[in-house]
Amino acid sequence: MRYGAVAVPTSDLHPISSSRVNRPAPKKAFGAESGCHENLSTSSSEMRTQIGKKAHRLPRGHPALEPWPSDVKLYQPYEVEQILLQDQANSLAVQVFLRMCGLEFQVEMRSNAEHMSPSGKLPFIKCGAFVVADLDPIVSFIANKGINLTDHLDAAQKADMRAYMSLANNILGNAELYISWCDENVLNEVTCPRYGSVYSWPLNTLLTWRKQKQVTKKLTALGWITKTLDEVYEDVDHCCNALSERLGNHLYFFNDRCTELDAVVFGHVFTLLTTPLPDNRLASIVRSYPNLVEACQFLEKAFFQKPTANTTDGDSDNFN
């Protein structure tokens, strides 16, 4: 069995919910005629200044307020051979979020997606002249266009939602990084072969070593490097417990309507359940919370499966 091979939510592609955005004929984005790389570099510097600015209302006529174009692309590493746990979780979260909002996009796989991203984080979307990476900036970017999933939440619920998102990203995200890069078994059998699969020797060894150093530095700064594997599993268990308590016996976290939190949790839970690793303790920890698994299955069916007339058994094969 090939470790690390990720299961794909049965693909494509038309979101179930009807689109809420009136999409006019696509305008040529400014600078689109020039090469893709130039476009990305100019818009990445624009995004850098966007990151630095305090959140405020954009002036009318600002290019970010234009309606959602029809040629939006989401870039991520190759799904079958290259992508790792955390990137897969983040990419799925963004994909399901965009589908929840009813926004069309196409997934493009690139071996150097990580280096193309303006902030180094994955996935990133190219929307007209803008390149936005990572879920939070993408959510703000889409909110500027007047689309968001949290209108039905009051201020206290929004605060709760942000707290649970921090919890999921902090614990599940860092646990995925730890297990990919700091556990010798997984590092040698899964991570190194996958990360270096798109490069030839000696580049694959060098780049993997460099990435490992970068991740180790981050985990040291966050205080995760001193944890043992058992402590990491315990933290994941505690986190899943907290999420499961919040979810209760609903399918969504808030008011029976989907929000960014559902997207984030779906990304992590789906990845942890469907990625085969040498030690499957992570998957068994997540599986011990049946309401999380059920919610994840529900979202997969709702947003990733094409409705067919002959569907009798709605369960996906991905979770067995």
Site residues (vs another protein, CB under 8 A) = 48, 51-55, 117-120, 155-156, 158-160, 162-164, 166-167, 169-171, 214, 217-218, 220-223, 226, 238-239, 241-243, 245-246, 248
| Nearest approach, Cβ of residue 120 and another protein (Å) | 4
| Nearest approach, Cβ of residue 247 and another protein (Å) | 10
Q: What is the DSSP string of the chain?
A: --TTPPPPPSP----SSPP-S---SPPPPTTTTS-HHHHHHHHHHHHHHHHHSPP-PPPTT-GGGSPPPS--EEEE--TTTT--HHHHHHHHHHHHHHHHTT---EEEE-TTHHHHSSSS-S-EEEETTEEEESHHHHHHHHHHTT--S-TT--HHHHHHHHHHHHHIIIIIIHHHHHHHHT-HHHIIIIIHHHHTTTS-TTHHHHHHHHHHHHHHHHHHHHT-TT--HHHHHHHHHHHHHHHHHHHTT-SSSBTTB--HHHHHHHHHHHHHHH---SSTHHHHHHHT-HHHHHHHHHHHHHHHS---TT------GGG-
Distances (CA, A) of 261 to 162, 228, 231: 8, 28, 25
| Closer Cβ to another protein, 197 or 244, answer by number | 244
| Nearest approach, Cβ of residue 44 and another protein (Å) | 9
| Closer Cβ to another protein, 101 or 171, answer by number | 171
| Closer Cβ to another protein, 27 or 217, answer by number | 217
| Nearest approach, Cβ of residue 46 and another protein (Å) | 13
| Closer Cβ to another protein, 170 or 185, answer by number | 170
Q: By C-alpha distance, which of 87, 88, 122, 75 is closest to 6?
A: 88
| Nearest approach, Cβ of residue 217 and another protein (Å) | 5
| Nearest approach, Cβ of residue 280 and another protein (Å) | 25
| Closer Cβ to another protein, 105 or 124, answer by number | 124
Residues 144 and 124: their CA atoms lie apart, in Å, by 17
Tokens of 156: 């206290």
Cα 235 → chain centroid:
21
| Closer Cβ to another protein, 61 or 248, answer by number | 248
| Nearest approach, Cβ of residue 239 and another protein (Å) | 8
| Nearest approach, Cβ of residue 89 and another protein (Å) | 16
| Closer Cβ to another protein, 99 or 268, answer by number | 268
| Closer Cβ to another protein, 174 or 316, answer by number | 174
| Closer Cβ to another protein, 47 or 101, answer by number | 47
Q: Give CA angle at 73 (12, 251), nearest 5°.
A: 50
| Nearest approach, Cβ of residue 157 and another protein (Å) | 10
